[in-house]
Chains A and B, each alone.
Chain A
Amino acid sequence: MEYEQENATISLNQPVFFRKSFHNLRNPLVVIKGYTSLMLDGCGGNLSEDHREWVVDMKQNCEHLLTIINTLSELSFIESGICDEKTEEVDVAALLSDIGKNSEALALSREIGIKLLFPESVQPLRCDRGLVTRGVENLLNNAILFSPKGGNVEISLTSAGEFLSISVKDTGPGFDEDKLPQVLEGYFQGEERPDGRKGTGLGILISRRIAERYGGALAVESTQGEGSRFTMTLKI
């Protein structure tokens, strides 16, 4: 998709164009979020109970919109392929341990247990460490945020032939079977999380795109009321 502006052709897959556009989209929201934060901090005087509730609602919606913009921005960078520059050999088991450790605080705050299941040795994967981390983090954070208190999340790594599989299994609400294609397309917004917030659904699409980028795929198995398992396969 292209359009003309001031005699210059701007291609919408240009990373610089996207970077600037997303920057310009975020700034007004940074202002709204900033003022709502100031109001809630009492900088403009005391708020009535109603006003406080409204401002909290404004701030949360603003943060939700920022999350959508950041996710779309991330997707555009993945699609543009500028991440190839940082390809290195990555020990995926070590990477998953780090990701698990980084999510411990979030899991603890929701009384969710994280279990890691790895084989003794796995071939290293040539990939962008940050990108694969992001793909797994999306799945793990969803699993934690959608699981009820006291739930369990399991991260497992297996190797078969030229593929590595990273699975994240949760004890969350699960999905209806007929919703699974929408989940992988990023169109599905599940029910409210136990913390009362809603997700965008787009994090799953990012994980899928990252898996596809490394010659693999993202699959989901789910049973409503019992939980889900998302599996990213990546070509070694």
Chain B
Amino acid sequence: MSTLIMVVEDNVSIAKIWSLKLQKEGFEVALAKTGKECLDSVKERKPDLILMDIMIPGMNGVEVFQTLRQNIDYTSIPVVFLSSSVKDRDEIQKLLDMGAKAFLPKFDITPADLIVKINEILSPEEA
């Protein structure tokens, strides 16, 4: 079974950009526009990694992450936060202390950078 990346992103265009690049690199992609969709979808099939936007409708990305962390079946899923907002050092450190694998500012990274980061997380020995 191929590696499944879940993209939690309410902006359709941004979700499409990440998906196109991920699929081109051989990943399978599951999309969720809200936290609820993410939590429902995780029950169907556990992703190998979640790309989580922070500002999404309903529960925000951090709340979805905390909900996932409360279920022992999902604590091992690596979560990468993405945001169009600028976060300061302390805010980023808080997310990492909570167990997030990375925080990436959307405006700074390209789809190619994202793939590098995902590969680093999924196969650290090869990175």
Chain A contacts to B: CB under 8 angstroms: 19, 22-23, 26-27, 29-31, 33-35, 37-38, 41, 43, 66, 70, 73-74, 86, 130
Taking a contact as CB atoms under 8 Å apart, the answer to whether B107 and A70 are in contact is: yes
For the complex, count residues of B whose C-beta is within 8 A of A: 21
Q: How far is the CB of B30 from chain A (nearest CB, A)?
A: 19
Q: Can you list 10 A-B contacts (CB < 8 A)?
A: A23-B83, A29-B107, A30-B84, A30-B106, A30-B107, A31-B14, A31-B17, A41-B24, A43-B20, A43-B21
Contacts of A33 in B (CB 8 A): 107, 110
Contacts of A66 in B (CB 8 A): 107
Which of A26, A31, A34, A37 counts the most chain B CB atoms within 10 A?
Answer: A34
CB-CB nearest in chain B for A59: B110
Taking a contact as CB atoms under 8 Å apart, the answer to whether A30 and B14 are in contact is: yes
Given A27-B84, A34-B14, A43 and B107 contact (CB-CB distance below 8 Å) = no
Contacts of B83 in A (CB 8 A): 23
Q: Is B45 close to A, CB under 8 A? A: no
Q: How far is the CB of A163 from chain B (nearest CB, A)?
A: 26
Taking a contact as CB atoms under 8 Å apart, the answer to whether A34 and B11 are in contact is: no
CA distance A22 to B85 in the complex (A): 7
